[in-house]
Amino acid sequence: MEFDLMRTSALFLVLVAVGVAALIAMGVMATSTVLMMVAPAMLLFGAVCLGLGIKHGEYRTGGTR
């Protein structure tokens, strides 16, 4: 499966949405805390990891396109 910008973005957002929904459903913290603090942190951390992963993949393949 080849990833392009749309697939990568969609899978990234689905993964974050599932994580946020699970935290809300478990009820371990207030919904407002999850939405205002946890969700943005998940998005930021995920974006940093995605960027690092892309750069590492480029390094492993020997360069960019």
Q: Provide the phi-psi class of 44: left if phi over 0, else alpha when psi is between -120 and 50, else beta.
A: alpha
Q: What is the mean pLDDT of the chain?
A: 91
Boundaries of every domain in the chain: 5-61
In contact, 3 and 9? CB cutoff 8 Å: no
Instruction: Give the model confidence (pLDDT) of 18-49 as tens digits.
Output: 999 999 999 999 999 999 999 999 999 999 99
Instruction: Enter the pTM of the model.
Output: 0.80
Asked whether residue 54 carries a pLDDT value surpassing 70, the answer given is: yes
Question: What pLDDT sits at residue 18?
Answer: 97
Give pLDDT, residue 65: 59
